[in-house]
């Protein structure tokens, strides 16, 4: 980010606007939504600004402008409409140490005015660092459609009841309460205009601590997808934003963790091949312990929790401890790798059976029957198969399939470091070495159907 988004406290602080025309009026309308004290610096005012001054809503100073006019301000807007005058006033404001916005001059701006969706006290600010204001307005339009017009009123009710909730409920209960408020019947009632009913529902929930959360919250086994943060599901993002503590894997993109609550605890429990510093039973024990402490737990796994992710072992440990869990599916690596190649996991008439397997079993000798898996019409997706590529090649060579089976190799699917290679099974190890491919990678072994031989008919 070149600019840092921040909401400034404006109550009682000075905002100076240099200019008396339409540009200045636009900034004045914006700042009038706050509780700032506004002063206009101009020799004359347009009718709108003149009316605001006459009504006592803004101050007006028509004396010669000096640096002192800009001292002790929260913000300065320069909007005379004249590039030369704007530049000169910008220099004076900077001499006074002011934070300055010069209209239509991003090169002279310390602060850039965002597009704003106002549901006060709920305010959404959208910025593009001055590069694409049209895009910012498009996003604003989408947000206006998404947020109900009176959402701010519901937020204000919640604000008035926060002290009551703090006195009666524990921190975890309070988080669950507000989650219930904004995702349940209270918000639904408020949307349809039943504001009194909505407020009473919230008050009753605070008084009884009854808002649909009995016992420990389910531990969420969340699939993060193959790597890139935009491939996690919306439900996965929601669980991250609700989590008190997140246990995450070695291959998780750090940017995915940025989607979580800022104050959520993050615990790395990654495993590297051959160096299991975090044994599975220890990870399972941590999940159980955190859930028993009343924390909302997310176990964030690469890909899908149900595909070679040892999710079943963690689920068994939670079940044995009497702790509920949920599975939030993710895009598995095979799907992501196939899409990266612009291909499909199954193809009618060519590959109508898909097998998911792994090159690394629990024991070193746990080797799949590769020839047996690769009957005609099958595609076999081998997870973490680089380390056993030589065994795959040898088995298919012995079976006479090495020059028939096609192999697609995708490493780091959907990531900037992605690599793709194709070969016959006979050249598998050489291709991997030539391209410098390492895990995480998917090997697709395909034994396509051959067209039936058409016999010629004789008369």
Angle CA 281–284–286, to nearest 5: 110
* Rounded distance between C-alpha atoms, residue 21 and residue 255, angstroms: 45
Give CA 79 to chain center in angstroms.
37
Q: Taking the alpha carbons of 220, 223, 227, 229 in that order, is the dihedral positive or negative? A: negative
> Among the options 176, 249, 304, 408, which is catalytic?
249
> In Å, how far are 26, 29, 47, 75 from 44, measured between CA atoms?
16, 18, 10, 21
Tokens of 324: 């509920």
Tokens of 195: 């504001």
> In Å, how far are 263, 391, 410 from 342, measured between CA atoms?
39, 28, 12
**Exposure b/e, 51-78, CB count within 10 A at least 16 = b:** ebeeeeebebeeeebeeebbeebbbbbb
Q: DSSP characters for 116-167?
A: EEEETTEEEEE--TTS-HHHHHHHHHHHHHHS-TTHHHHHHHHHHHHHHHHH
Annotated catalytic, 249? yes
> In Å, how far are 89, 262, 298, 300, 403 from 77, measured between CA atoms?
10, 32, 45, 46, 72
* Rounded distance between C-alpha atoms, residue 255 and residue 248, angstroms: 12
Angle CA 429–403–456, to nearest 5: 165
**Among the listed residues 231, 227, 213, 229, the one whose alpha carbon sits nearest the alpha carbon of residue 296:** 213
Residue ranges of E strands in 132-253: 219-223, 245-248
Tokens of 101: 């916005």
**Prior bond to 122 cis, omega within 30?**
no
Annotated catalytic, 271? yes
> Among the options 271, 419, 424, 449, which is catalytic?
271
Which of helix, strand or coil describes residue 303?
strand
* Rounded distance between C-alpha atoms, residue 161 and residue 371, angstroms: 67
Catalytically active residues, by annotation: 249, 271
């Amino acid at each position: 980010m070149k600019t840092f988004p921040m909401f400034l406290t404006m109550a009682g602080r000075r905002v100076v606007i240099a200019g008396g025309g339409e540009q200045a009026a636009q900034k004045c309308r914006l700042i009038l939504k706050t509780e700032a004290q506004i002063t206009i610096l101009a020799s004359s005012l347009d009718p709108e600004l003149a009316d605001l001054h006459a009504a006592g809503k803004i101050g007006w100073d028509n004396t010669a402008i000096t640096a002192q006019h800009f001292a002790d301000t929260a913000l300065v807007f320069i909007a005379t409409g004249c590039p030369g005058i704007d530049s000169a006033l910008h220099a004076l404001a900077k001499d006074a140490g002011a934070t300055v916005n010069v209209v239509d001059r991003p090169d002279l701006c310390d602060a850039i005015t965002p597009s704003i969706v106002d549901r006060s006290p709920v305010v959404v600010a959208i910025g593009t660092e001055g590069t694409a204001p049209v895009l910012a307005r498009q996003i604003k339009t989408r947000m206006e459609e998404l947020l109900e017009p009176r959402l701010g009123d519901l937020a204000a009710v919640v604000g008035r009841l926060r002290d009551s909730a703090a006195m009666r409920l524990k921190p975890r209960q309070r988080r669950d309460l507000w989650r219930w408020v904004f995702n349940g019947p209270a918000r639904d009632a408020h949307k349809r205009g039943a504001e009194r009913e909505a407020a009473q529902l919230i008050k009753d929930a605070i008084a009884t601590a009854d808002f649909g959360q009995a016992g420990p919250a389910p531990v969420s086994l969340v699939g993060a997808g193959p790597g890139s943060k935009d491939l996690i599901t919306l439900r996965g993002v929601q669980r991250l934003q609700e989590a008190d503590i997140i246990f995450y894997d070695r291959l998780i993109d750090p940017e995915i963790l940025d989607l979580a609550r800022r104050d959520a605890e993050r615990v790395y429990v990654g495993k590297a091949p051959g160096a299991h510093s975090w044994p599975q039973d220890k990870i399972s024990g941590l999940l159980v312990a955190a859930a028993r402490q009343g924390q909302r737990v997310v176990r964030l796994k690469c890909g899908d929790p149900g595909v070679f992710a040892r999710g079943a072992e963690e689920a068994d440990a939670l079940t044995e401890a009497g702790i509920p869990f949920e599975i939030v599916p993710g895009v598995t690596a095979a799907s992501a790798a196939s899409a990266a190649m612009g291909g499909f996991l199954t193809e009618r008439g060519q590959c109508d059976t898909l097998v998911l397997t792994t090159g690394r079993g629990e024991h070193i000798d746990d080797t799949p029957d590769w020839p047996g898996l690769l009957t005609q019409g099958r595609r076999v997706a081998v997870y973490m198969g680089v380390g056993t590529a030589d065994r795959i090649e040898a088995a298919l060579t012995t079976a006479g399939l090495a020059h028939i089976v096609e192999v697609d190799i995708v490493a780091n699917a959907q990531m900037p470091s992605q690599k793709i290679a194709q070969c016959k099974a006979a050249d598998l190890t050489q291709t991997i070495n030539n391209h410098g491919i390492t895990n995480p990678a998917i090997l697709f072994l395909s034994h396509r159907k051959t067209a039936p031989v058409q016999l010629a008919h004789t008369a």
